[in-house]
Chains A and B, each alone.
Chain A
Amino acid sequence: MLLAADISVYIDEIIRSLPLLTTEYTLVLSIIAIIVMDLLFGKENPQLLYMAATTGLLVALIASINDWNTVEGPQNIFENMIRVNRLSLFLSILLIIATLLTILITSFEKPFKEEKKGEGEYFSLLTLITLGSILMVKANHFLMFFLALETVSMGSYLIAGFKFDRKGSEGAMKYVLFGAFASAIMLYGISLLYGYTNSFGFIDLTEIAAQGRQIDFGLGFALIMIISGLFFKISIFPFHVWVPDVYKAAPTSITAFFSIVPKIAGLMMMFNIVNRMGINDLEISSISLHLDEMLGIAAIFTLIVANFSAIWQKSGKRMMAYSSISHAGFMMIAILSLTEMGLYALLFYIFIYILMNYGVFFILIKLENATGSDEISDFKGMGKAAPVASTALVILMISLTGLPPTAGFTAKFILFTTVWENFELSGQYIYLFLLLIGLGISVVALFYYLRIPYFMYFKESEGKREPVTFNLFELIFLLFLTTPIFLLFFQPDWLFDVINSINFASN
């Protein structure tokens, strides 16, 4: 209960905490501004909403870069509800950039250009999901985490159906039913954890575990429930079934958004929970299940299932959905190796993944505008009609597979080096398996990633193709996404210098 004597302490805490969340305030204000503008003059000038969303995100970007420059050590604010550190600030910068890219590629998507429908809702929901993701990355308390996660989820359910057609509504319904079920399970896990630990903080469970890091079945079950909910959000193996349907049904720019922003937030949440609660050290004694082995096995199955399913896909968007599941598997591997190197590998991977994914989806949007479908077989003969798009797509696909000379290779190389080091250090065979499966699966990935270029270059189209042209702005955008993929292969230190300034130990 609140005691009168403590009240000044509470007020001081609140006043101390307020200035550290400028990014969030900016986003909230821009959501409100978008809604008010939409109500007042949304019908006449929808362009204004576009500007408002972009401006809001840019200001938020400046705010978080400012925080990145000023905040040194980790700061626990609002009674340990939120922890601001350099890791979370770096990620919020990435998340805001990703949302800005989403808004950019939205403007290229044909249906959005032509039929003006629900733009106020679209931009406010995008900003809302970004806000939720940033809070998720910064959360240090299960209440904060849960509210942020639900903000992200509910925004995603709504925005998934933004094509306003039959399939769009179906995808949204599948998403909302699966998603609500997953959050209910996770919530029950949180309630059990509260019963065991009497606290909602991310407390170190290794301290309350018995000798040999053993925990009893109930606590282990609670943790598994929480992890399952997170698995759903980042689409790890047994909970990935919703991904292809939802990604296929959503507008293409939203598909790109889904494969980046909520996913990165979920992954970092996973990292924070596993790291701060020491989950990977625990063992459920009654069934002698090591939790890190469970996570590893889930990652292995994710890689296998996603890559082998992707081979049979006919639709480009569904293929990219499986590709995003597979990349989530790779990033899970990085989370498992909880070393400094593992974190750096993860951040490097995330950065490259954002560039590659937005590049691929941008080209998919261009091709979709030209052909009116996202079926791979409809892209026949595009190699001649759209030379720029095809070349860029080949580069991006090679990078997604993880072959030199692209940064995708560097990211995977660092990742696998980390896994190997972990195996040598701990001698646990799960790391060796992860390494072997990860390497083997990259070969499978080559088959499906290069299928689209194969259709574009080596199959003739039936009719004559209208040439797909890029205007100057689009070309600059494409260059902006593809050049770093080469540059960071030759000069990975540029990115590493930034990442290295994040102090792992103080997180």
Chain B
Amino acid sequence: MTQIELYFLVSIILFCIGIMIVLIKKNGIMILMGIELMLNAANINFVAFAMKSPEAIHGIMFSLFLIVMAAAEAAVALAIILRVYRFYKTTDVDEIADLKG
């Protein structure tokens, strides 16, 4: 296995763990953590593939932007979940189900 393949393997495993967390967990904040894992898996990919790319700087730049984007998204999502918690006193996504129709 080459180095890039090893990195790719890590990223795939991380991505699958993230998807499993999103699908299985009920807690909103846990789901958010799963999503962060998926984003970081993509980040590993960007840096790893940049090693073989002629435009290496592009992959690395993308990962920098992605880190900031992930932080912003986490902040937005946490703020919204806090707001939900104030109304529902829970972050369990199954119990937060007033909207039906």
Contacts and interface: CB of A to CB of B under 8 A. Distances in A.
Contact of A180 (B32, B61, B83): B32
Interface in B49-65: 49, 52-55, 57-59, 61-62, 65
A181 B77 CA distance: 12
Nearest to A184: B38
Interface residues of B, number: 47
Contact of A147 (B28, B42, B53, B65): B65
Interface string A312-352: 01110010000000000000000000000000000000000
B65 A143 contact: yes
A318 B38 CA distance: 32
- Per DSSP, are chain B's interface residues mostly helix, strand or loop, or mixed? helix
A187 B42 contact: yes
B69 A150 contact: yes
A171 B8 CA distance: 36
A169 interface: yes
Contact of A194 (B38, B45, B80, B88): B45
Contact of B53 (A166, A177, A198, A248): A198
A1 B32 CA distance: 35
A385 B62 CA distance: 57
Interface in A245-300: 245, 248-249
B66 interface: yes
Nearest to B46: A191
A198 B77 contact: no
Contact of B96 (A143, A161, A170, A181): A170
Contacts of B57: 1
A489 interface: no
Interface string B57-101: 111011001100100110011011101101110000100111101
A170 B61 contact: no
Contact of B80 (A146, A161, A167): A161
A188 B58 contact: no
Contacts of B43: 191
Interface of A: 1, 142-143, 146-147, 150, 154, 157-158, 161, 165-167, 169-174, 176-177, 180-181, 183-185, 187-188, 190-192, 194-195, 198-200, 244-245, 248-249, 313-315, 318
Interface of B: 8, 11, 15, 18, 22, 28, 31-32, 35, 38-39, 41-43, 45-46, 49, 52-55, 57-59, 61-62, 65-66, 69, 72-73, 76-77, 79-81, 83-84, 86-88, 93, 96-99, 101
Given A146-B69, A173-B84, A199-B55, 10 more contacts: A167-B98, A170-B88, A170-B97, A170-B98, A177-B35, A180-B73, A191-B45, A194-B49, A198-B49, A198-B53
17 contacts: A147-B65, A161-B80, A165-B87, A169-B83, A169-B84, A176-B80, A180-B35, A181-B38, A184-B18, A184-B38, A187-B38, A188-B45, A191-B45, A194-B58, A200-B58, A200-B62, A313-B101
